C-alpha cells in the first residue's frame, strides 16, 4: 500500500470513527420508545405487559398462579413461614398489597393476612372452581390472581383471613422501602419502632453522562431517590439539546435524596469518586465538554467541608494517577431532565453507559 493510499485509508478510518462517535452522541437526543414500568410515586403509570412478556418476566409458577388462577402447594412456598418486617407487593406490578404487621400464622401453609394495606382495594369475585363457593381476590392494577378471602380469621382483628399465594407476591424488606419508592408506607413501621424515621438529605453530583451515574447511585443502600438533570450553569430551563451544545454552563448531574441514618454524605462521595474518573477536566471517557465535568454541588457548609476533605484525602493518598479536577461549588438551581432520561438504563437495558463502580 502506498503512503498516499495508506494516508487516505487512515484518514478514512478516522472520519468513520469520528462519525460513529458523533452518531452515538446524537443518538442520545432522540427519545426512546415508551416502556411500561411501575412507579410507586405514580401508580397510574402501570400498564400490564402482554402474556408473552409476562412469561419471560415471571417464573412458571408465578405465571400459573397470577395469570391462570392456579394454587401453589401448601407449606412449600416462599412466605408461608416468613416473619421479617416489610411489605408484600404484587409480583407483576409492584403494587403494595399487604404488610407484615397484618400477617399471622393460620396453620394452612399459605401466607395469611387479616387485611390488605390501608387504601388498597382488592377485586373480589365469586369462585366456584373448588366445588364450594369461595371469594377470589385479585390485585387492582395488574388483575393478578392472589388467592381467596375467608371469614375464619382472628375475631379480634376483623375475622377475615386473606389466604394468598406466595408466588403472587414479592417481599420488600422494611429497610428497603424508602429506596424502592414505598416511603409513604413506612409510617406504621416507624411507629412500631421497627425502623428509625428517615433523616432525609439531598446532594447534587456530576461526573459525566447522567444515565450511568443514576444507574449506580440509585442502587446504593440509603439512597431513596435519584433524579437526572442539569445544574451549575446560567441558562434557565435548559433542554437536553441546549445542554449538548456545551454553551449553557450546566453539567449533566444527578440530584439525590438519601437517608443519613443509613448513608453518610462522606460515604456517598466515596461511591461518587469510585464510579467515574475525576482527573479528566471537562471529559468523561469519550464524552467531552463542560457538561461532562466532574463536580460536587454542595448545599451547605458542612457538605462543602466534607467534599473538600474527601478530595484532599484522595489526592494525598494518590488514589489516582493524575490530580483530581473535581469542581466543588455551591449548588444552584437543579433542573430535572426530560422524562425519557429518568431511569434510562432501566427502560433501555444495554444502553450507552461509561460508568462502573470500582473496588
Alpha-carbon distance of 194 to 101, in angstroms, equals 10
Residues 6 or more apart in contact with residue 102 via CB below 8 angstroms? 113, 114, 115, 116, 117, 157
Give me the residues paired with residue 260 across strands. none
- The rounded distance, in Å, linking the Cα atoms of 333 and 328 is 15
Candidates 290, 315, 310; CA nearest to 298 is 310
- 244 part of the active site: no
Residue pair 341/238 in contact (Cβ under 8 Å)? The answer is no
Grid coordinates given for 30: 432522540
Residue from 65, 163, 223, 296 carrying the catalytic annotation: 163
Q: Work out the burial of residue 188: count CB atoms within 10 Å of its CB; fewer than 13 is exposed, 13-18 middle, 19 or more buried.
A: middle
d(CA 277, CA 279): 6
Answer yes or no: are the C-beta atoms of 67 and 119 closer than 8 Å. no
Cβ neighbour number for residue 56 with a 10 Å cutoff: 8
Task: Round to whole Å and give the CA distance between 150 and 160.
Answer: 6
- Residue 209 falls in the annotated catalytic set: yes
Closest CA to 95 of 78, 113, 119: 119
- Compute the chain's Rg from CA coordinates: 25
Active-site hit among 142, 209, 220, 275: 209
- The catalytic site residues sit at 163, 209
Amino acid at each position: 500500500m502506498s503512503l498516499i493510499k495508506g494516508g487516505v485509508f487512515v484518514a478514512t478510518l478516522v472520519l468513520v470513527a469520528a462519525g460513529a462517535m458523533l452518531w452515538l452522541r446524537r443518538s442520545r437526543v432522540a427519545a426512546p420508545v415508551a416502556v411500561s414500568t411501575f412507579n410507586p410515586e405514580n401508580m397510574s403509570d402501570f400498564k400490564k405487559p402482554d402474556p408473552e412478556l409476562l412469561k419471560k418476566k415471571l417464573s412458571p409458577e408465578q405465571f400459573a398462579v397470577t395469570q391462570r388462577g392456579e394454587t401453589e402447594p401448601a407449606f412449600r412456598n416462599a412466605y408461608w413461614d416468613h416473619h421479617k418486617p416489610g411489605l408484600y407487593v404484587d409480583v407483576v406490578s409492584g403494587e403494595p398489597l399487604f404488610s407484615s404487621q397484618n400477617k399471622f400464622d393460620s396453620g394452612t401453609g399459605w401466607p395469611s393476612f387479616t387485611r390488605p394495606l390501608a387504601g388498597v382495594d382488592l377485586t373480589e369475585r365469586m369462585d366456584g372452581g373448588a366445588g364450594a363457593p369461595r371469594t377470589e381476590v385479585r390485585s387492582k392494577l395488574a388483575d393478578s390472581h392472589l388467592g381467596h378471602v375467608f371469614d375464619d380469621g382472628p375475631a379480634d382483628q376483623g375475622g377475615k383471613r386473606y389466604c394468598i399465594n406466595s408466588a403472587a407476591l414479592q417481599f420488600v424488606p422494611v429497610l428497603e422501602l424508602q429506596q424502592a419508592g414505598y416511603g409513604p408506607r413506612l409510617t406504621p413501621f416507624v411507629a412500631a419502632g421497627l425502623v428509625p424515621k428517615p433523616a432525609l438529605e439531598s446532594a447534587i453530583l456530576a461526573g459525566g453522562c447522567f444515565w450511568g451515574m443514576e444507574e449506580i447511585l440509585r442502587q446504593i443502600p440509603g439512597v431513596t431517590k435519584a433524579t437526572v438533570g442539569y445544574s451549575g450553569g446560567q441558562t434557565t430551563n435548559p433542554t437536553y439539546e441546549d445542554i449538548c451544545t456545551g454553551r449553557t454552563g450546566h453539567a449533566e448531574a444527578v440530584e439525590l435524596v438519601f437517608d443519613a441514618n443509613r448513608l453518610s454524605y462522606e460515604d456517598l462521595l466515596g461511591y461518587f469518586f469510585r464510579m467515574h474518573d475525576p482527573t479528566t477536566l471537562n471529559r468523561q471517557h469519550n464524552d467531552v465538554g463542560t457538561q461532562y465535568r466532574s463536580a460536587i454541588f454542595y448545599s451547605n457548609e458542612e457538605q462543602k467541608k466534607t467534599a473538600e476533605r474527601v478530595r484532599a484525602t484522595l489526592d494525598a493518598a494518590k488514589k489516582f494517577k493524575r490530580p483530581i479536577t473535581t469542581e466543588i461549588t455551591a449548588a444552584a438551581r437543579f433542573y430535572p431532565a426530560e422524562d425519557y432520561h429518568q431511569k434510562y438504563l432501566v427502560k433501555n437495558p444495554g444502553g450507552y453507559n461509561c460508568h462502573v463502580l470500582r473496588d
